Amino acid sequence: MFLDAILSTETIAGILIIGALVMAVRSILFFTREAATMAPRLQKIDMDLNKRREGMADKKKAVKDLNVIVDPLKNSEGKLRAYYEVLQNIEISHERTEAEQGEKEEKERSKRIQRKKMGFD
């Protein structure tokens, strides 16, 4: 009978309600302690954010001014890259031609030397 009174629905509900209230009070106390340390940090972050917002107007204007300068240069960049590639190809072909001529001359010299050694010249 005593066990029935302890395990009754009202008793168990009361215990759960008291436990929930204890947890809520404990959480509120914890967050109040944390709020004291968080307030200065939050104020500092807010001040930094305001500084950044104030400086953005000048930077936006500078970006807009630079975009006016950069846009035509972007158009020219493609042409300059193509021109640079053509110049590189010309330079490579010129170096190849010089190397081939050097090899030819070297072969001719070695042939002449061989002929002289054999007594043909």
Global pTM value: 0.40
Distance CA 117, CA 121 (A): 9
Q: How high is the pLDDT of residue 121?
A: 60
Which residues does the chain have with pLDDT short of 50?
Answer: none
Q: How high is the pLDDT of residue 5?
A: 67
Sequence-separated (6 or more) residues with CB below 8 Å from residue 112: 121
